[in-house]
Structure 1
Amino acid sequence: MSAEVTRPTLSDALTERMLELIRTGGHRPGDRLPSTRELSQRFAVTTPTLREALRRLEATGAIEMRHGSGIYVGSAIERLVMPNPNMREMRGAQLLELLGARIVIEPPLAAMAAQHATAEGIAALRTMLDEAALHLRGEDAELHDANMTFHRATARLAGNGVLHEIVDSLLTVHANEQREILQIFDDRRRDYDEHLAILEAIEAGDPQAAERLMKAHLADVKSVVELRLHHPPME
């Protein structure tokens, strides 16, 4: 019983010490960390205990363990909001809740993007939509990726890192649900045209229009999905 209590406590402490090592050492994403042997000696712990802490850190993206190469600082080390990789798939009413959450969060971010976006950021958004246009008659996965990249980039241009991470987490964890939403909505051209209108409002520096168009776009998707979930098309 005591071993079961002590081991997680030791692992928790070791995880924190690893994070402290990364922060105080000035390590950045992509930097290589000491080997498992060096870390075991440094923290005076066994290799199995160290590996448990490393697995925890890897699960959150704080580190990356490359087979045959070593341990590296992960790209997510500076994130404040982390996606949950163990989240179960959503169905039915939960799909609508996901869209409802996005309706609350993303329209104000589109308005902020219209206020803060640089010429470079706007050009990047247009490139993303050009990429989406290439896939309007192609595979769902490619079009989905292009669409989600547009939504992520719009949130990033708002200039609030925490809110951007929330949007990114929602779209990352629920990627399968977002693909399902695209299939249910089943109007690629309409989806693209609404994205284009949002971009034009951001480019014009019109926050009211950007917010209104993003809200209308997501509400449009939600209403179609709701209708088709309750009244699926006949075979």
Structure 2
Amino acid sequence: MAQDVARPSLSDALTERVLELIRSGGLRPGDRLPSARELSERFAVTTPTLREALRRLEATGAVQMRHGSGIYVGADLERVVIPNPNFRELQSDQLLQLLDARLLIEPPVAAMAARRADPSDLATLRTVLDQAGCHLDGADAELDKANMSFHRATAKAAGNEVLSEVIDSLLSVHAAEQREILRIFDDRARDHDEHRAILGAIEAGDAERAEELMRSHLLDVKSVIEARLA
């Protein structure tokens, strides 16, 4: 029997019904869902109405609609924080606000990474820094990608998924600003050396030192950006 969905919050109710279908069915990212027609019949709504709810879920990464193939459970089904792709670009003076936000979050996260990182986490951190080292004389975009991978990997090594997603979202939303910060800072070797020092503290399990070095690193970047924007 079709499950009727009542207004006034039809789209909200539909998204919840689809999520409940995924969870109750034990579906995982990559698993296929019933077709839009089958789902609309199941929930007793029109196909266009159902597709609107699916588009909302797709925007959050909970589902993925593949043209000519079907509807699949998305990789970000259980993600707590998602980037907003429509957020306007920061102005120059707001680069400092971005660095202030990172200063509040990333130093204690580095300390957590020093306490909790396992061998796999440490191997990932070494790999991304090796990649960054290969791009010190290359294009800004490749170096920035490697540098941000280090900060993301540090957050992941902290073992707290919410904090990891917060940092990942912050860096994803403001990717253009991060590239601008790299351009203005313009000292690749110094930046890389500071990352290496942070990794050394994490490898040594020295939480206090890892936190201190991450804070010093971000303050160093901020002081340079502040001076050059003045």
Please indicate the TM-score interval, normalised by the length of the shorter structure: over 0.9
Name the counterpart of 1:177: 177
Q: Distance in 1 between matches of 2:112 and 2:122?
A: 13
For residue 33 of structure 1, give the secondary structure of its aligned residue in structure 2: coil
Alignment of 1:75-114 (within 5 A): 75-114=75-114
Name the counterpart of 1:18: 18
Q: Distance in 2 between matches of 1:69 and 1:198?
A: 45
Name the counterpart of 2:3: none
Cα deviations by residue, 1:30-52 (Å, 9 ceiling, x for unpaired): 11111111111111111110111
Q: Distance in 2 between matches of 1:137 and 1:155?
A: 26
Q: Distance in 2 between matches of 1:85 and 1:18?
A: 23
Name the counterpart of 2:150: 150
Name the counterpart of 2:29: 29
Name the counterpart of 1:226: 226
Cα deviations by residue, 1:201-234 (Å, 9 ceiling, x for unpaired): 000110111000000001111111111111xxxx
Name the counterpart of 1:55: 55
Q: Distance in 2 between matches of 1:207 and 1:55?
A: 43
1:191 corresponds to 2:191 = yes
Query: When the two structures are aligned, how many residues end up with a matched partner?
Result: 225
Q: Distance in 2 between matches of 1:31 and 1:94?
A: 41
Name the counterpart of 1:168: 168
1:38 corresponds to 2:47 = no
Q: Distance in 2 between matches of 1:39 and 1:98?
A: 42
- Structure 1 portions without partners, runs of 5+: 1-5, 231-235
Instruction: Say what the alpha-carbon RMSD is for the aligned residues.
Output: 1.3
Q: Distance in 1 between matches of 2:90 and 2:8?
A: 31
Give every structure 1 segment of 4 or more consecutive aligned residues whose post-TM-superposition deviation is greater than 4 Å. Answer: none
Cα deviations by residue, 1:109-162 (Å, 9 ceiling, x for unpaired): 100100111122111100110000111111111111111111001001111111
Q: TM-score, normalised by structure 1?
A: 0.93
Shift of 1:93: 2.4
- Structure 2 portions without partners, runs of 5+: 1-5
Name the counterpart of 1:3: none
Name the counterpart of 2:212: 212
1:34 corresponds to which letter in structure 2? Answer: P
Counterparts in 2 of 1:7 and 1:183: CA distance versus 1, 3 Å? farther
Q: Distance in 1 between matches of 2:69 and 2:229?
A: 48
Cα deviations by residue, 1:6-61 (Å, 9 ceiling, x for unpaired): 97721111111111111111111111111111111111111110111011001111
Q: TM-score, normalised by structure 2?
A: 0.95
